[in-house]
Amino acid sequence: MLILDGKKVSEHLKNQLKTRVEDFKKQYGTPPLLKVIIVGQDKASQVYVKNKHLACEKVGMKSEILELPASLTEEQLIQEIDKLNKDPRVDGILVQLPVPKTISTEAIFKSINSEKDADGITFFSTGLLWSGVDHVFPCTPSGVIKILKYYNIPIKGQRATVIGRSQIVGKPMAAMLLNENATVTIAHSGTADLQEITKGSDIVVVAAGKPNFFGAEYFSEKSVVVDVGIHGTGSGKLCGDVNFAEVNGKVSAITPVPGGVGPMTIACLLENTLDLALKRKRQS
Ligand code: NAD
């Protein structure tokens, strides 16, 4: 069984980005700038934002964090986003999710200018993805495709199932696999006979948000399993949606948690920001 080492793939990508950022600085004088907005005091979000900031610094990019209070209204957030949309210094904008319940994610997906959409989550970016037009796309599914390609796992012509249909993981994942010419099934909480579907699939991407839920009965010895889920277990350890201990040795390849998809998400965010910065510079 092959372990798909996302940490290794992310280091490979970040090394490439470091060189590309140096070239960018030589040509344009300043590094790309990612602006991350965090609303409220969610502890996990604060850690994610800090990690993104450190990762930017590691590849020579700039990142600034805009911390806003949980009492912020949706209108105020949109105003802040709009300021960044208009700020010529800013190349990429990311709003760390989740935001407080008083703010709809829909408003965020609508208000970030797609030319600065570092997370690839706006409605416009989503439209481009499903139209098969080249753009920056959501970081987590982009990371999954990169892991599969790094390990030369065929996608074209393969039967791929995505478990989960969220706007930021499941749906874009399905679109990206489709754009790579896989035959794609999107499974969700209303899907009947899921085990039959996943067992008959070559690639299964699991993004259901259910800790240790998917055991050996969901897969075959030919399955390539990508586990997007990430959960704290209370003992300080992390686990995925797949019961790794049970599946271990019974599938052909699997991403571990931690060290699988997670590190790729951040690396793809950096790549998206650089790509957006280059696009804007070339257009101006
Ligand atoms: P979500 O809760 O928005 O969506 C979960 C989806 O799974 C839903 O569409 C639901 O229909 C489906 N689902 C739930 N239970 C199911 C079941 N038993 N069978 C089939 N489908 C089922 O979650 P999300 O934002 O897409 O995130 C999914 C997981 O990925 C979470 O664990 C999240 O923490 C993780 N995540 C990881 C990264 C990363 O960088 N590694 C990034 C984003 C999300």
Residue 51: closest CA among 107, 105, 4, 10: 10
Best residue among 197, 213, 230 to mutate for probing ligand 1's pocket (most ligand atoms within 8 Å of CB) is 230
**pLDDT (mean) for 242-262:** 97
Instruction: Flag whether pLDDT at 284 surpasses 90.
Output: no
Q: Which fold has domain 29-114?
A: Rossmann fold (3.40.50)
Instruction: Flag whether pLDDT at 169 surpasses 90.
Output: yes
Instruction: Flag whether pLDDT at 252 surpasses 90.
Output: yes
Residues of the chain with CATH 3.40.50.720: 139-261
Q: Is 96 a catalytic residue?
A: yes
Cα→Cα distances 244→19, 51, 162, 251, 281, Å:
36, 25, 18, 10, 45
| DSSP element (H, E) containing 62 | strand 62-68
Query: What pLDDT is stored for residue 44 in this prediction?
Result: 87
Query: What pLDDT is stored for residue 96 in this prediction?
Result: 97
Any ligand 1 atom below 6 A from CB of 229: yes
For the chain, the average pLDDT equals 97
Query: What pLDDT is stored for residue 211 in this prediction?
Result: 97
Residues of the chain with CATH 3.40.50.10860: 29-114
187 Cα: distance to centroid of ligand 1 (angstroms): 11
Among 26-30, 43-47, 144-148, 270-274, the range scoring the smallest mean pLDDT is 43-47
Domain 139-261 class?
Answer: alpha beta
Query: What pLDDT is stored for residue 108 in this prediction?
Result: 96
Query: What pLDDT is stored for residue 235 in this prediction?
Result: 82
**pLDDT (mean) for 95-121:** 96
Best residue among 94, 227, 228, 243 to mutate for probing ligand 1's pocket (most ligand atoms within 8 Å of CB) is 228
- Which tokens belong to 188? 């969700």
Any ligand 1 atom below 6 A from CB of 230: yes
Q: Residue 233 corresponds to which amino acid? A: T
Any ligand 1 atom below 6 A from CB of 210: yes
Residue 204: closest CA among 248, 159, 264: 159
Residues 6+ apart with CB under 8 A from 56: 34, 62, 63, 270, 273
